[in-house]
Amino acid sequence: MGRCHPADREPLTLSSIMKTARIPAVINRKIGRAMHDWQMLSQGDRVLVAVSGGVDSLVTAWVLHLWRDKAPIDYDLETVHVLTAVAGQEEAGRRRAEAVGRCLRRWGLSYSVIPGLPLPPDQPPSCFLCARNRRTQLFDEARRRGCGKIAFGHHKDDLIETFFLNILYSGNISTMLPRQDLFGGRLGLIRILSYLDKHDVSMLAARAGIQPVASGCPLAGDTRRSMVRGVMEHIESLIPGAKNSVFAALDNVRHDYLLTAGRDSAWGVGVDSARHRGEGK
Ligand SMILES: Nc1ncnc2c1ncn2[C@@H]1O[C@H](COP(=O)(O)OP(=O)(O)OP(=O)(O)O)[C@@H](O)[C@H]1O
């Protein structure tokens, strides 16, 4: 089994991984469908995989690595880890980066580490600020290397959580997309696990022997996202299948039954609102 644990240093070849840790057909189909629906990869792409050391981004790197062997197109893979910039976490961050590197290099992937941008001194450190800096850095890094794609480890549960976060905290209906093009199409963000549940991703990690490298960040886990995750888990326990329904809803929007419908119609929102209130008849 291709274990990805720092202590395990057995040499590992791609064929041995393929033999022992094949992706189950049903999961492979879901990944393939996401890749196809969103045209994630093209011939000659250079893909930078953003690897935190969490299970999702390690699985993303692993899947893209395996797929390269059988895909009808050629693409290059590079991996990068952004060091934490949270004060007091420097040493733990470096150890984490080394552990991530041991894992990726054993698959034969090229790996580099870039320092995190300093956090603003006038604001308390937060996951939001780190993530915003990291995003900027990853975009710059991809441009510097000539990579037209960045692969993230987000999966279906992340898309659902983002949908609720945007409704609850930002008052808009949106989520992150399996593929999002930026800068006039010069950079594409791809999320190859978008159609997989967290459970599928954990199962793949177990098959590949991937053991995530713990974050250790004192801020991790204490976020709006983790709260929404807890709420979603509770809803799913009350209404089994709710998460799948929410995900299906993201692809089944009844525009005519949203408040924007009135504004976009010939008679305008003022008239529509008046009608709803039973006025103006
Ligand atoms: N330090 C980092 N360096 C490089 N990429 C990162 C880093 N942190 C996060 N990412 C990227 O952003 C994605 C989402 O970040 P998030 O903080 O939700 O991940 P995580 O829960 O720490 O780890 P994972 O998603 O890998 O399980 C990750 O899947 C990964 O692709």
The 10s digit of each residue's pLDDT in 34-66 is 999 999 999 999 999 999 999 999 999 999 999
- Strand segments, DSSP code E, in 148-270 are 149-151, 179-182, 187-190
Q: Whose CA is nearest to atom 6 of ligand 1?
A: 52
Q: Whose CA is nearest to atom 10 of ligand 1?
A: 52
According to the model, what pLDDT value does residue 40 have?
97
Q: How far is the CA of 127 from the centre of ligand 1 (A)?
A: 11
According to the model, what pLDDT value does residue 202 have?
97
According to the model, what pLDDT value does residue 97 have?
96
- Among candidate residues 232, 140, 155, the one with its CA nearest the CA of residue 187: 140
Pocket test for ligand 1, best of 4, 48, 57 (most atoms within 8 A of CB): 57
- Among candidate residues 74, 71, 59, the one with its CA nearest the CA of residue 192: 59
Q: Is the ipTM of this complex over 0.90?
A: yes
Q: How far is the CA of 273 from the centre of ligand 1 (A)?
A: 43
Please tell me which residue, 221 or 70, carries the higher pLDDT value: 70
According to the model, what pLDDT value does residue 9 have?
38
Q: Which fold has domain 14-250?
A: Rossmann fold (3.40.50)
Phi-psi region of 183 (alpha: psi -120 to 50; beta: other; left: phi over 0): left
Statement: residue 259 has pLDDT above 60: yes
According to the model, what pLDDT value does residue 29 have?
95
Q: How far is the CA of 82 from the centre of ligand 1 (A)?
A: 9
Statement: residue 6 has pLDDT above 50: no
Average pLDDT, integer, range 135-152:
97
Mean pLDDT score of the chain, rounded to an integer? 87
Q: How far is the CA of 209 from the centre of ligand 1 (A)?
A: 19
Instruction: Give the range among 86-90, 94-98, 240-244 with minimum mean pLDDT.
Output: 86-90
Statement: residue 7 has pLDDT above 70: no
pLDDT digits (tens, 9 = 90+) for 159-185: 999 999 999 999 999 999 999 999 999
Q: How far is the CA of 254 from the centre of ligand 1 (A)?
A: 33
Statement: residue 273 has pLDDT above 80: no
Residues 6+ apart with CB under 8 A from 219: 86, 125, 126, 127, 130
pLDDT digits (tens, 9 = 90+) for 92-130: 999 999 999 999 999 999 999 999 988 888 888 788 888
Pocket of ligand 1 (CB under 6 A): 50-52, 54-57, 81-82, 134, 152-154, 215
Strand partners, 47: 77, 149
Q: What is the C-alpha to C-alpha distance for residues 56 and 154, in angstroms, rounded to an integer?
A: 7
Q: How far is the CA of 186 from the centre of ligand 1 (A)?
A: 22
Atom of ligand 1 nearest to the CA of 127: 17
Query: What torsion, rounded to 10 degrees, do the Cα atoms 256, 163, 183, 58 define?
Result: -140
Confidence tier at 19 by pLDDT (50, 70, 90) = very low
Residue carrying structure tokens 């009608």: 275
Atom of ligand 1 nearest to the CA of 225: 18
According to the model, what pLDDT value does residue 266 have?
67
Statement: residue 148 has pLDDT above 70: yes
Average pLDDT, integer, range 19-23:
64
Pocket test for ligand 1, best of 52, 55, 138, 176 (most atoms within 8 A of CB): 52
